[in-house]
Chains A and B, each alone.
Chain A
Amino acid sequence: MFIKALLIGIFYWISKWAIGYTFGVRWSNLPMVMAPVIGLIMGDVKTAVIMGAFIQAVYLGLVSGLGGVVTVDKSLATCIAIPIAIQAGLAPEMAVTLAVPFGLLGTITNNIYKIYASWLTHKADTAAEEGDAKKIRMLHYWGAAIGWLPLALIPVTIIVYAGPDLIANLLAAIPDSVVNGLGVVGGLLPALGFAMTIRVIGRKQFLPFFFLGFFVIKYFSLSTIGASIFGIILAITYVQLMGGRTDVEAS
């Protein structure tokens, strides 16, 4: 089990490193992409993927890291909740409930890292005054790898190693009705993900399309893929008719 915990720790460490803006930043913010790897380590890919999808729904519209402001560490939430939930045999909804507090805790480590990065930048100032470009690169590339060791690899390894027993004991100690309540929370939280996404898309004049999507599913029971085909057709048609205009009134 310690080896597994260590591998999870290493995986989280690599995710914080986020190599490649369009790749690393993407997957380290996507619980559903991290889930298969975690499942592979824990020996249960399918359960991990299902849990990853549940956690994903909560964080869907939450774009973390814009302007350098990390609001929630989705990667930390995923790397801790899925291994512990698999070990303790929890339902996917419970994995969501477990993920949320760790996601919030991650803001602390991320903020500590940003202070460390400021220190690196000051070291780079000195190097720049000496015209030492190589040292600036060393500070940047190795600084990231080393900085995340104590902030990512070590704490995650320990929590994943010690966590399952703690969680199992905790759940055994609380009444069944409250455990049910925790499950209900898991079913409600995706609403936050979708509401956030509607907010960030931010074009209120297009809100009818939200209701269209909702009731297409509720009345016609289409599959999600099927519904998305209609969505794509709608979007293309609109752009062809209206171009880049944003004010509906002007039509």
Chain B
Amino acid sequence: MSKQANKLSRNDVVKTFVRWWAATHWNTSSERLQALGVCAALSPALEKLYTDKEDLKKALIRHLMFFNTQLNWGGIIGGATLALEEENACGEGVPEEVIVGFKNGLMGPMAGIGDTIDWLTLSPIVTSLCLPAAQEGSVMACMLALFAFSIPATIVGYYLFNLGYKLGRDSVTTLLSSGIVNRIINGLSILGLFMMGVLSASLVKVSTPLAIVNDVATTEIQPLLDKIVPGLLPLLTVLGVYYYLEKRGNKYMTALIALIVIGLVLGTLGIIK
């Protein structure tokens, strides 16, 4: 890479990361999703790289195209894009299609990895570990739920953004081929499912006040159920909802309304409590 006047300093890279991290998701539009955010995050660096107004215009326009990824793991795309733009500006002449194609090609995979690890697995696990203490009114648990996720996740994001900048185009291939991603996902999935069992057992509250009355005695149903399988009703509730979502696709709304109606009707009639 030829070293010319307007190379980015270490400071520029860090500042771009901060902008990327702080605000890229702000104006997620229905049309081009994170496009505006990406352009705003990269724009100060682009201004520094492209002293020629025409080049700057082209650069701004190409980063206003559709973009959507998980920004934390996708930070590696942000960093690499910065490196590509620098290469382009400093005389290497990276074709515009390469820069745009690079972003478009990798935003999907990085969204998949990032969402799976951060938002779908790590996030609910940290939350569920803190939840029981919060139910007893612990403010500490609430704060822990934030920081125990956010601090490590931010460090990963910062690392990946810098890795992206350092390795340029090769960076994502390096990450994808290392196999560590699958190990993380496997471990977190097991812990996550285990915790869902733990929480279902302690937080889903449903039992029946019904009793069979005959001439001789009154037999309450709930103690009988507890003898067969403890927590049968909460377990069936969770499995029922799971089965429904599995069969019908993620019809969250329908499941929600159905639960409300069932709970309201059976609860009002005194069949469950």
Query: Contact residues of A with B, CB < 8 Å?
Result: 17-23, 25-27, 30, 32-33, 35-36, 45-47, 49-50, 52-54, 56-57, 60-63, 65-68, 71-72, 97, 100, 104, 111, 114-115, 117-118, 120-121, 124-125, 127-131, 133-134, 136-137, 139-141, 143-144, 147, 177-178, 180-185, 187-192, 194-203, 206-207, 209-219, 223-225, 227-228, 230-232, 234-236, 238-239, 242-246
Contact = CB atoms under 8 A, between A and B. Distances in A.
Interface stretch (B5-13, B79-87, B97-105, B193-201): B193-201
A196 B180 CA distance: 26
Given A35-B142, A246-B182, 7 more contacts: A118-B30, A136-B39, A140-B36, A177-B270, A210-B193, A214-B201, A231-B194
A18 B27 CA distance: 11
Interface residues of B, number: 121
B263 A20 contact: no
18 contacts: A21-B71, A22-B153, A47-B137, A67-B111, A130-B57, A137-B40, A181-B267, A184-B273, A187-B204, A188-B259, A192-B255, A213-B196, A217-B202, A225-B129, A228-B191, A235-B190, A238-B187, A244-B179
Interface in B130-186: 130-139, 141-143, 145-146, 149-150, 153-154, 157, 179-183, 185-186
A209 to B, nearest CB: 4
A116 to B, nearest CB: 8
B142 A218 contact: no
Per CB-CB distance, the 6 closest pairs between chain A and chain B, nearest first, are: A213-B197, A244-B182, A184-B267, A181-B267, A117-B29, A217-B201
Interface in B218-253: 230-231, 234-235, 237-242, 245-246, 250, 252-253
A197 B115 CA distance: 13
B194 A194 contact: no
A102 B245 CA distance: 22
Interface of B: 21-37, 39-40, 43-44, 46-47, 53-54, 56-57, 60-61, 64, 68, 71-72, 111, 115, 118-121, 123-124, 127-139, 141-143, 145-146, 149-150, 153-154, 157, 179-183, 185-206, 230-231, 234-235, 237-242, 245-246, 250, 252-253, 255-256, 259-260, 262-270, 272-273
A46 to B, nearest CB: 4
Name the residue among A20, A147, A182, A214 with the largest chain B CB count within 10 angstroms.
A214
A224 B132 contact: yes
Given A203-B193, A206-B193, A214-B201, A140 B26 contact: yes
B266 to A, nearest CB: 7
B242 A198 contact: yes
A45 B139 contact: yes
B121 A201 contact: yes
Contact of B135 (A22, A50, A144, A195): A50
B28 to A, nearest CB: 5
B157 A128 contact: no
Given A209-B190, A214-B200, A185 B259 contact: yes
A30 B123 CA distance: 10
Contact of B128 (A60, A143, A219): A60
B8 to A, nearest CB: 15
A225 B132 contact: yes
A69 B120 CA distance: 15
A30 B145 contact: yes
A115 B149 CA distance: 31
A22 B154 contact: yes
A157 to B, nearest CB: 22
Given A57-B199, A133-B46, A224-B202, A183 B135 contact: no
B117 to A, nearest CB: 11
A68 B60 contact: no
A181 B265 contact: yes
Given A192-B255, A197-B196, A214 B231 contact: yes
A18 B39 CA distance: 18
A195 B149 contact: no
